[in-house]
Amino acid sequence: MKKPFINIKSGDIELEARLDLPPGEGRPPCVLFCHPDPKHGGSMDNNVLEKVNESLLKNSIATLRFNFRGVGNSTGVFSGGKFEGTDIISIVEFLSTHTLVDGSRLGIFGYSFGAWMALEATLATTKIKSVVSVACPQRWYSTFGTVEMVQPKLLISGDRDHDFPHGHFKFLSGRFTEPRHVETITGADHFFHGYEDILGGLTAKFFLGTI
């Protein structure tokens, strides 16, 4: 069930967000979405996020999409990664005590710039139980193989990603700590046009088993 837009506090910033609940009773698990870089048009309304959102709702998982600071109707100024992690932690805290979702069963999904932010947030809090990274840019992705990330992680890339050669993606993914799952979508580039349903299926299956 789609809910109206809500505002979530992050320090002095207000973040525009929408919490979508699946049909049925009870408190479902919830996945938080992190969108691509707004300098390239990224927002909570991105095509990848919308399709994966639909897939999770069909699988009885609640979702929360939001705009980073300075994007859409969120206040403040986008900082390119300097403060956006703070925004994510604020939303995790919001969800962990929310009455309509199970705050002990939270996952996070990030695409492109949002994948970097999602992985960083997963390192920062144990309240995130598992993470999906889609098309994380190579310059940031390479840093995560040197740290221990105990949560289950699904790492996805297209084999035609212009930003990240497939062989290098496979090599760097192998450096992530277990548990990890690595998926390559054949034919997909960085934008996944026409492959959103495949992404949605992989993501839903992963979260059903990890949150």
User: Can you read off the two tokens belonging to residue 141?
Assistant: 């992705």
What is the distance, to the nearest Å, from the Cα of residue 34 to the centroid of all Cα atoms in its chain? 4
Chain-centroid distance of CA 96 in Å reads 16
Q: Up-side HSE of residue 139: CA atoms within 13 Å toward CB?
A: 2
Amino acid of residue 76:
G
Sheet holding 128-134, edge to edge: 2-10, 13-20, 62-66, 30-34, 106-111, 128-134, 153-158, 180-185
Does the pLDDT of residue 163 top 90, yes or no? no
* pLDDT at 178 > cutoff 70: yes
Question: By three-state DSSP, how is residue 182 classified?
Answer: strand
All residues at 6 or more sequence positions from 210 whose CB lies less than 8 Å from its CB, including other chains: 107, 129, 130, 152
Using one digit for the tens of pLDDT, what is the confidence trace for 101-152? 999 999 999 999 999 999 999 999 999 999 999 999 998 998 998 899 999 9
pLDDT computed for residue 2 by the predictor: 52
Share of the chain above pLDDT 90, in %: 92
Given a cut of 90, whether residue 4 has pLDDT beyond it is no
Go through the domains of the chain in sequence order and give each one's CATH number: 2-210 (3.40.50.1820)
Structure-token match 């026409």, residue found: 194
pLDDT of residue 145: 85
Mean per-residue pLDDT of the chain: 96
| Pair of tokens at residue 85 | 């992690």
Q: How confident is the model at residue 5 (pLDDT cuts 50, 70, 90)?
A: confident
41-72 pLDDT, tens digit per residue, is 999 999 999 999 999 999 999 999 999 999 99
Contact between 5 and 70 (Cβ < 8 Å): no
pLDDT band at 25 (very low <50, low <70, confident <90, very high): confident
Q: Does the structure show a pLDDT above 80 at 202?
A: yes
